[in-house]
């Protein structure tokens, strides 16, 4: 159960980050730097976008892991 909840929470967090905050954060960070070519801008934006999604995935996985551990702990006799 712990793994299932961790995967569900991780996927939900990654999806939420993809739809809401990853692109604005990547655009904001890229806007702070000067680049020599449009390809560098695109590469930096892509890397930051994917990195933000990956971090959200890890955070969601960790939250799901903790929630799953609490739920699994309830099944054990006291």
Distance from C-alpha of 72 to C-alpha of 59, rounded to nearest angstrom: 20
pLDDT higher than threshold 80 for residue 51? yes
Q: What is the pLDDT of residue 1?
A: 86
pLDDT higher than threshold 80 for residue 5? yes
Q: Which residue has the higher pLDDT, 54 or 69?
A: 54
Distance from C-alpha of 11 to C-alpha of 15, rounded to nearest angstrom: 6
Q: What is the pLDDT of residue 10?
A: 97
What 8-state DSSP symbol labels residue 32?
T
pLDDT-derived band at 75 (thresholds 50, 70, 90) equals low
Cβ neighbours around 13 below 10 Å, total = 21
Q: What is the pLDDT of residue 57?
A: 98
Structural domain boundaries in the chain? 2-74
Global pTM? 0.85
């Amino acid at each position: 159960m712990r793994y299932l909840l961790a995967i569900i929470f991780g996927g939900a967090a990654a999806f939420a980050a993809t739809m809401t905050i990853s692109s604005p954060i990547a655009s904001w960070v890229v806007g702070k730097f000067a680049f020599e070519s449009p390809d560098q801008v695109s590469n930096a934006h892509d890397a930051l976008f994917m990195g933000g999604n990956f971090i959200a995935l890890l955070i969601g996985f960790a939250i799901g892991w903790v929630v799953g551990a609490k739920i699994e702990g309830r099944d054990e006799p006291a």
